Each structure stands twice: as structure tokens, then as C-alpha cells.
Amino acid sequence: MSNPIDIVIYHNPDCGTSRNTLAMIRNAGIEPHVIEYLKTPPSRTLLEQLVVRMGISVRELIREKGTPYEELGLGDPSLTDAQLIDAMMEEPILINRPIVVSTLGVKLCRPSEAVLDILPQEQKGAFSKEDGEVVVDASGRRV
């Protein structure tokens, strides 16, 4: 019996990139632990740890489109990381997605095919994004 593969995706089902990422994880034969982060946001400590593990800045994790980013003045370069995280804790929609955690790393999967870099199993077959873009060919290789 093989060891189960533990993958976590911080997911927004209303986001096409997030849906494509989830579908690619499943196309590898893995059923991830799906956390709808708008319903169950990560704690402040966990969010800070995810940023460090992804190797990105706090500012890189903030989503602008479709959020109160402008209204909250989050483009102000004088804001500290702590202030930006405060905003994400108050308004989880500001957390960019999807974030995927695997044994091979943690990644903000934008574009969605970035998830292929951290999946411990190959794709089981062809995969096309919702918009029809082919990402994986019939033999399971990245295009």
C-alpha cells in the first residue's frame, strides 16, 4: 500500500485559475484537501508562513482585481508587511489564489500550470484549461 499524497489547495471555486489548478491536481490522480479560503481563511501565523515558504513578498500575495485594494489604499508603498497582512486578515478576498502546498513546495499557482512544478505525480492524461488552452498532452507531458 502506498503512502497517501497530502496536497492542500487554498481555493476559490469562483476563480477560473483556481478551478484549473484543482483540476490539474486531480488529473495527477491526487485528491487534495480543499480549503475554501473565503469561508475558512488561514490564520495570520499560517499566512505569514505560507508567504515565507513561497519565497514571495507579502505585497506579491495581495490580489488587486475584484477586491477593495484601491478603496483601502493598499497601493501605498509605505505600508508595512504587517499592515498588508492586517488587511488580508480583515478582507480574505485580498489573498491571491490558488495557493498549493505539497511535499515539493508551496506555490501561488498563477498561472494555474505552475502547480505542475510541485506535484509529486505526473499527469494521468491530457489536460486543457477551461478556456481551451492545452497544458498537458495525451501522454501526460506538459506542453
Beta carbons of 22 and 34 less than 8 angstroms apart:
yes
Residue 2 lies in a domain: no
Beta carbons of 104 and 130 less than 8 angstroms apart:
no
Residue 3 lies in a domain: no
Which pLDDT belongs to residue 5? 81
For β-strands 99-102 and 33-36, DSSP reports them as unpaired
Residue 12 lies in a domain: yes
Count of structural domains, the chain:
1
| List 7, 15, 74, 94, catalytic entry | 15
Compute the residue count for the chain. Answer: 143
The 8 Å CB, 24+ separation contacts for 69-78 are 69/94
| pLDDT tens readout for residues 54-73 | 999 999 999 999 999 999 99
Q: Which residue has the cell 508603498?
A: 77
Give the C-alpha separation, 113 to 28, whole Å. Answer: 12
For β-strands 8-11 and 99-102, DSSP reports them as antiparallel
What range defines the domain where residue 83 resides? 8-136
- Is 109 catalytic? The answer is no
| pLDDT tens readout for residues 7-39 | 999 999 999 999 999 999 999 999 999 999 999
* pLDDT > 90: percent of the chain: 96
- For residue 105, the domain's CATH number is 3.40.30.10
